[in-house]
Chain A
């Protein structure tokens, strides 16, 4: 399978401090890949740099094209989409408007189909479609952020800590939906501290520590790795959100 996203030897720095060092990663078509790691490991920084929010040195290729110089908006047009950690919703606009803007770059006919798809994935959003995004619960906001990203019919959806601060039952719901995305032909790059849940739905996983990948491989193997089990899975029982 050809790589949809291919990052080679990427470095991201805040001034003189390198938050991400010599990271290489691949996401294939129809694949769910997760990056797990502790708080401050550089996971969010890496995703933001791939999206173009932060400058990155090294190679980034998406769908066979080099994109390190593209603006965020052009990466969106190419089919790359990020659901950021803070969701960045349009709080004073209603759910439907948020979703409609998610389809800003695509044709109206396609957008209509996207609406159906998103409302099928998240029936709750349909119930709340006239409500202001800022007044939704945390779980609903996460659903809306994912729905808004999916409205643009992306090839690869990058999710930054979708479970952060949510009740376990909602986390389960969100992860179930992420698993369903594969059937819809969307690849997923998932950054999570909730390693247990992430490894369950992912095909492959990378483990990040202090800005570097220390381990990678099929998710099932990573889940049974002694070091990962001790550092990331040991205290993840009872669905602790890991804040």
Chain B
């Protein structure tokens, strides 16, 4: 084997693997806190990427309107759920989060769209829009089901994925899009060419992982989120609302999904349904990590990325097959190694 080619493939694999690592970590986080296997993670990727691409062409993305619409329904749900005791403070809070926030984002987006805004502004807007959608998605789909079984949550998750994918087709059309690169700089190290974009991928991945580590290790809310994951009843008994933990988890997952999308869209053309496949690769990494281990998930993601790079070079027709087959031996090994799991209690 040619060393240069191998280096190329490894480099490519690590760049993709970094993205899968981000997505895998978000999946583990959401599952630990809410027991939801977040299939719509891929839609956060698509929405982030295509919102950014649309904004870059100076158009108004449909996702901004979706955020407002979902917020309105979420507000209705909040009012209905709290109908027995409607304190003005409760209503004001629900109004601020569900209506004011997405409307403000919509207003800002429509004011800035088409003004040839700098890339940083487009990225920030895309993140805000997808974050608002993520927050409302939790309120609409998963919060009312929070007490149900993992299976029910999974089915709801599949439903949310299909609905959002359909909306993606409405907003962005069947045509693929590409977004502008964050940086056009490039330099050579030996035979390898590092683009600004790939450096951005590495830097942002590392920054996010470090940020998450700081958040979970040193802030009260981060610890509260961990506490919810470790012992849900214990967390409730000290007054940590399951809802709050769920909201934070979905907020983080949607922002992570969107930033992943924004990082990929200058490298590959993204269609309205591409995110699903990308999300699934993060999912494989998360499964290899047993849906509990963050470090194992990150390492597995790099392996997934590298295997994908090599298989697309040697057997590009079977690229996805080979990558997804990775999951089989892992599941077999896990089912042999893992002790019998008791029936779920809550």
Contact = CB atoms under 8 A, between A and B. Distances in A.
Interface of A: 51, 53, 69, 71-73, 76-77, 81-82, 84, 87-93, 97, 100-102, 104-105, 148-149, 151-152
Q: Which 3 A-B pairs have the closest CB atoms?
A: A88-B234, A76-B239, A105-B239
Contact of A104 (B84, B85, B226, B238): B238
A87 B230 CA distance: 13
A93 B345 CA distance: 22
A88 B237 contact: yes
Nearest to A76: B239
B237 A51 contact: yes
Contacts of B224: 101, 104
Interface of B: 84-85, 220, 223-224, 226-227, 230-231, 233-241
A82 B239 CA distance: 11
Contact of A97 (B223, B235, B241): B223
A73 B235 CA distance: 9
A104 B234 CA distance: 12
B230 A91 contact: yes
A151 B85 CA distance: 29
Contact of A82 (B220, B223, B226, B237): B237
A91 B231 CA distance: 8
A84 B236 CA distance: 12
Contact of B220 (A51, A91, A104): A104
Contact of A73 (B226, B234, B236): B236
B293 to A, nearest CB: 12
Given A82-B237, A90-B234, A101-B238, 5 more contacts: A76-B236, A89-B234, A91-B230, A102-B238, A105-B238
Nearest to A53: B233
Nearest to B240: A104
A226 B235 CA distance: 42
Contacts of B235: 90, 101
Main secondary structure of the interface of B (DSSP, over half): helix
The listed residue with most B CB atoms (<10 A of its CB), out of A81, A102, A104, is: A104
A76 to B, nearest CB: 4
Contacts of A148: 238
21 contacts: A51-B237, A73-B240, A73-B241, A76-B236, A76-B239, A81-B237, A82-B237, A88-B231, A88-B233, A88-B234, A88-B237, A90-B227, A90-B231, A93-B226, A101-B224, A101-B227, A101-B235, A102-B238, A104-B224, A104-B239, A104-B240
A115 to B, nearest CB: 14
B81 to A, nearest CB: 11
Nearest to A87: B234
Q: Which of B85, B223, B236, B237 is most buried by chain A, counting CB atoms within 10 A of its CB?
A: B237
A73 B238 CA distance: 7
Contact of B237 (A69, A76, A93, A97): A76
Nearest to B232: A88
| Max count, chain B CB within 10 A of own CB: residue among A76, A93, A101 | A101
Contacts of B84: 69
A53 to B, nearest CB: 7
A122 to B, nearest CB: 17
Contact of A90 (B85, B226, B236): B226
Contacts of A149: 237-238
Contact of A72 (B220, B227, B231, B236): B236
A72 B238 CA distance: 9
A89 B220 contact: no
A105 B237 CA distance: 11
A152 B240 CA distance: 12
Given A100-B220, A101-B223, A104-B224, A93 B239 contact: no
Nearest to A69: B84
Contact of A152 (B234, B236, B239, B241): B239
Contacts of B231: 88-91
A110 to B, nearest CB: 13
Contacts of A77: 239
A129 B99 CA distance: 44
